[in-house]
Amino acid sequence: MQLAEFNAADPDAARATLRPCIDVTRWVDAVADARPFASRDALLEFAAQAADPFSPAEVEAAMAHHPRIGERPTAAGTEASMSRSEQAGVDPADTAVAEALARGNRAYEEKFGRVFLIRAAGRTAPEILQALDSRLTNSPETEDTIVARQLREIAVLRLEGLISE
């Protein structure tokens, strides 16, 4: 979608465009309500700061839409397609890494009670595995902050892929 089209869209259509980026109503509303944006960079800059900080409830709601790292969603739709693309660096054929990611995912879920989340785009499976192992040593409070930041990075990255100048 072109920035001009996004800027001119009715509020419901603008919100529908934004929702696959991150399902945090306060973020979606803030970005949609701040239109028009003078440039794509201005939009992305605003989106990176909108609704900051996310509340714990917003983080948990948004997390419900994220698959485990290494498990690509099979569902149709914009968000599932984005997730598959973001995890392109995770090769399921590399069984040793896939098994290590599965073990790490289980350990993370046992410790933190949610799936491991990282902006996977541009990262290789070994890099993701290293980050997962490292983050397993975090306190819940530290991890909450990291997860919220990762959600925001993913949202902005997805928005960057949706809106062109």
Domain 3-162 maps to which CATH number in 3.90.850.10, 1.10.1740.10, 1.10.3330.10, 1.10.3470.10? Answer: 1.10.3330.10
Task: Report the C-alpha gap between 36 and 85 in whole angstroms.
Answer: 28
φ and ψ of 2, to 5 deg: -75, 150
On whether the pTM is more than 0.75, the answer is yes
Pure H helices in 64-139:
78-86, 95-112, 125-135
Over residues 82-131, the pLDDT tens digits come to 554 555 556 555 788 889 999 999 999 999 999 999 998 888 888 999 99
Q: Give me the residue spans of the domains in the chain.
A: 3-162
Output the six-digit token pair for 22.
Answer: 């991150």
Task: Report the C-alpha gap between 23 and 27 in whole angstroms.
Answer: 8
Over residues 68-82, the pLDDT tens digits come to 777 655 555 555 555
φ and ψ of 43, to 5 deg: -60, -50
Over residues 14-72, the pLDDT tens digits come to 999 999 999 899 999 999 999 999 999 999 999 999 999 999 999 998 888 777 777 65
